[in-house]
Copies of this chain bind each other. A is one copy, B any other.
Amino acid sequence: MKEKTTKREIFEAAVELFSRKGYKGTSIREIAYAVGIKESSIYNHYKNKEDILRSIFDYFRDDLSSLRPSEHETGKLIDLLSPPDIFKLIFMRYANTENVIIDRIAKIIFSEQYFNPQARDFILNVEIREPIAYYESLLREMARAGKISETDCHFIAEELHYGFLGIIMEYSHVKKEGEYDKDTIQKLIRHVDFIFKHVQN
């Protein structure tokens, strides 16, 4: 769904409007107007308003899995880079997707987290628990490869991620869309270095 079909245009307009005015704060009318069609035409592409939101969530889920390094890549990374540098790389990938759509969807999910069960699930699992589990496995591999000392990998993973989440929270307000915020990158780097003072080999 990358070509500029009408369906895709509706999708993108909805993402933009939902992220800026909220799901409830955006009407089908507005979306249609942004695309340059009549509201009734929307229903040729999506069953209803909720169906648009659902498709936005689906897109986000698909994209996320493509962001996480593969097992093969992970192995190579551990060979080539220092443990802190690996985490800096991972954090930067998330923080700087340069994908405006994903940035916007992240905002939609955030603002819907208390009302929409799927959004809540994203926050709790996809944004919080899965990354921590992934970092934990990564740290275990690093320890196995002798790159870091044996430590409580789960706890270190939590410290890495919770701090990251806090920084990102500020980031989402500070940074301009699609841009790169030097100050935040600095914070992410410092954060990773700080945590790894505890885990040095």
Contacts and interface: CB of A to CB of B under 8 A. Distances in A.
Contacts of A174: 124
A80 B24 CA distance: 50
Contacts of A91: none
Interface string A156-174: 0011011111110110111
Contact-residue bracket for chain A: 35 or more
Contacts of A191: 159, 162
Contacts of A19: 114
Interface in A173-201: 173-174, 187, 190-191, 194, 197-198
Interface of A is mostly: helix
A143 interface: no
Query: Number of copies of this chain in the oligomer?
Result: 2
Contacts of A159: 163, 191, 194
Interface stretch (A28-36, A39-47, A105-113): A105-113
Nearest to A127: B169
A22 B119 CA distance: 14
Contacts of A163: 159, 162-163, 166
A198 B109 CA distance: 35
A49 to B, nearest CB: 13
Contact of A110 (B25, B114, B155, B198): B114
A21 interface: yes
Shortest Cβ-Cβ A-B pairs, 6 listed: A162-B166, A165-B166, A24-B24, A162-B163, A163-B163, A166-B166
